[in-house]
Amino acid sequence: MGLSKNWETWKTRIRGINIINKDDCIYIAGLLDGEGCIGLNLTVEGERKNYYPHVSITNTNKEVLDWVKITVGKGSVIRKPLGNIRHKQSYHWRIYGDQSIQFIKKIYPYLKIKKLQAETIMQYEKTIQLKVQRHPLPEDIKIERDRIRDILTTLNKRGNDYGNTN
């Protein structure tokens, strides 16, 4: 019985992301389109640049973000620091790394506003080499990752129309 249950749990996961039904994908895509961000973080340690793809959704309803976390099977929900006492408390659901790219692939067909950001972050996956730790990245890959990050930064700026498909 226990082995069977573990097998069923394992079988319903793809690279750590739950298999999500179409209705849930559509709803989560709507949340991401309206209240989300698709980005590529950069940290620099000496000469080494580290890139981290991420996806986040912000909402004042923590329960809906907890539901996203349970439905997707990954990510974390954190409380956002309250900047203004007149604002309502808000929360972030975040997912990082390869899991964020796999998540985007899952909901991509249902995105409307963030489709360009999704396509751009999926380009990042092509720059990932096999696990060759501690070896410097080739210069062309560094340039491509910086280009992808610049595109995402532009697409994520408030007030632009780049992400609109209408």
Q: How far is residue 106's CA from residue 24's CA, in Å, rounded to a whole number?
A: 11
Q: What string of pLDDT tens digits covers the 166 residues of the chain?
A: 343 444 344 334 445 678 789 999 999 999 999 999 999 998 888 877 888 999 999 999 999 999 999 999 999 999 988 888 888 999 999 999 999 999 999 999 999 999 999 999 999 988 876 455 556 777 888 889 999 999 999 998 876 555 454 4
Our separate counts of H helices and E strands in the chain read 6, 6
Are the beta carbons of 54 and 39 closer than 8 angstroms? Answer: yes
- Considering only the C-alpha atoms of the chain, give the largest distance between any 2 of them, rounded to a whole number of Å: 54
Other Cβ atoms less than 10 A from the Cβ of 58: the count is 16
Amino acid at site 41 = N
Q: Is the dihedral of CA 151, 157, 162, 163 positive or negative?
A: positive
For the beta sheet containing 36-45, the strands, ordered from the edge strand earlier in sequence to the opposite edge, are: 36-45, 48-59, 91-96, 76-79
Residue reference for tokens 């950001």: 117
Q: Is 164 buried (19+), middle (13-18) or exposed (0-12) by CB count in 10 A?
A: exposed
The pTM of this model reads: 0.79
Q: How far is residue 166's CA from residue 113's CA, in Å, rounded to a whole number?
A: 9
Domain boundaries, the chain: 11-155
CATH superfamily of 11-155: Homing endonucleases (3.10.28.10)
